A and B are shown apart, each in its own frame.
Chain A
Amino acid sequence: MRVLRFAFALASLAIGCAIPPSRSSTEISTRDMRLSISLESVSTGTHVRASLVGPFGGFDLDGGDSFSLYAAGQPTALVSDGVYTFTAEPTVRSGDFVFDLVRPADRGARVTIPTPPDTELVADPPTARWLPVRWTPSEGFVTTLGVQGKCLAGGTVTLAQDTGSYALDLASLGPKGGGCTLTVTLTRSAAGSAYLLGEPWMSYTARQARTVEVAWTP
């Protein structure tokens, strides 16, 4: 009798292990899903990457469930890699990015991620020490300016306030002597998260990068 019981328990375990975890969204509560979003605005548009996972990893959107993106108000196709990552390459470079999870049989969720205003980075003629740059100012983002070039060690300056202009002090960035082409990069970034029914449901990073090259002779 004991042997039978043991065999039954073993068989039950084996059967349980053989059952694959759910791959259908219809069997996963929205509350158990997790959304992670990354936005990177570059000169040609915005790289969008979103991952939507359940308790056991990726799943298929079934039963009329859908996951959509509106980039600056325009519907934008999200391409699934068949596992759990969605990507898009819209040409828009700024505005609100809205992610919409629609579920006929469960709670839906809408996430809006703001991005910095569109801008170009403009470099004014540098002097032996100063390199003035300009851009469209903004608030609410961490703003940094990075400088690279073969003729200086380079570095990054984090601004306390995004005023839309700054004169980079090239003398403090380790000049090596001689001139070269300098690459200046403006980066504005933000990160955030949101809760759904008390659970940490969504996190995001948004980053805007613009570069400009300028010839410099100290």
Chain B
Amino acid sequence: MDSLRKRVAMIAGCTLLLGACQGPDYQAPPGTDGVAPLDLRVQGVVRSNGQVAQIEATLVDTAYRSLTGGDSLVLSAPDGASRVLESSAASDYVTSYVAQITTPSPTLTLELVRRDGSRHPTTFTLPPGFTITAPSATSRSTPMMATWEPDPSSPVTVSVATSPPTCSVAGRGGSYASDPGSVTLQPADFANVAGKCTVTISVGREIKATPNGKLGVGTVRLAQIRTLVLETQP
């Protein structure tokens, strides 16, 4: 009898332990099926480097939503480039969707496409595109100025990195409320090292999207990013 009691107690204990190991009972994010498109808000970032446009987005109303019931998201450009967003970095609480298309267009459309074929678009207009013009000389003994077409309506962030890192102090550049249209690297910005030094200049313009169209828009950052790589000499 005692042996039977012990066995029952052991089985009960093991069952409790296994239950504890399973952890809490998570629920998958609720779906978009049946939610009105304007009640959903797109959040994330849309960016372009002038050749490729990317989007990283989530859908939210009172909670994050995952695409269900045959719903899909499609990113497209006026030149015909188009792609269905795919889920990425999914978790129990949030599902992110990403897509990339080859287009120079600063105007991009995101559509929620329902199973019945209805389409619910919103349009994102990125800041104006630009090109960074390299300095005419790449000697670190003279100032080097990289220029681009300024846009007075967009704040801009300029970052400068070097390889090897010992070539220069980090953090040259900065954030500008009014786009200056250029960055100058001076001899004093570089450590006194011999040999080549690779300098990477990144310029980013960013604004916030405003709601429009038939799909709700939350916080969406719209960015134009350009990068210039310079091989500098002493």
Contacts and interface: CB of A to CB of B under 8 A. Distances in A.
B169 interface: yes
Contacts of A167: 143, 184, 186
Interface in A18-71: none
B202 to A, nearest CB: 15
B174 A161 contact: no
Interface in A144-191: 158-163, 165-167, 169, 171-175
B174 A172 contact: yes
Nearest to A176: B177
A36 to B, nearest CB: 29
B190 A161 contact: yes
Given A166-B186, A167-B184, A169-B184, A161 B192 contact: yes
B200 to A, nearest CB: 16
Contact of A160 (B168, B173, B175, B176): B168
Nearest to B169: A160
| Residue among B173, B174, B186 facing the most chain A CB atoms (10 A cut-off) | B186
A129 B150 CA distance: 14
Given A129-B180, A171-B180, A159 B188 contact: yes
Nearest to B180: A171
A145 to B, nearest CB: 9
A158 B168 CA distance: 11
Contacts of A172: 173-176, 180
Which 4 A-B residue pairs are closest in the complex by CB-CB distance? A172-B174, A159-B188, A160-B191, A160-B169
Nearest to B189: A160
Contacts of B180: 129, 169, 171-172
A180 B176 CA distance: 19
A40 to B, nearest CB: 23
Interface of B is mostly: mixed
A19 to B, nearest CB: 55
Given A172-B175, A172-B176, 13 more contacts: A129-B180, A143-B188, A160-B169, A160-B188, A160-B189, A160-B191, A161-B188, A161-B192, A166-B186, A167-B143, A167-B186, A169-B184, A174-B177
B128 interface: no
Contacts of B192: 161
A169 B188 contact: no
Contacts of B178: 171
A124 B204 CA distance: 31
A130 to B, nearest CB: 8
B187 interface: yes
B158 to A, nearest CB: 8
B160 to A, nearest CB: 11
Nearest to A170: B180
B175 A159 contact: no
A174 B186 CA distance: 20
B191 A171 contact: no
B193 to A, nearest CB: 9
B139 to A, nearest CB: 14
A166 B174 contact: no
A174 B176 CA distance: 8
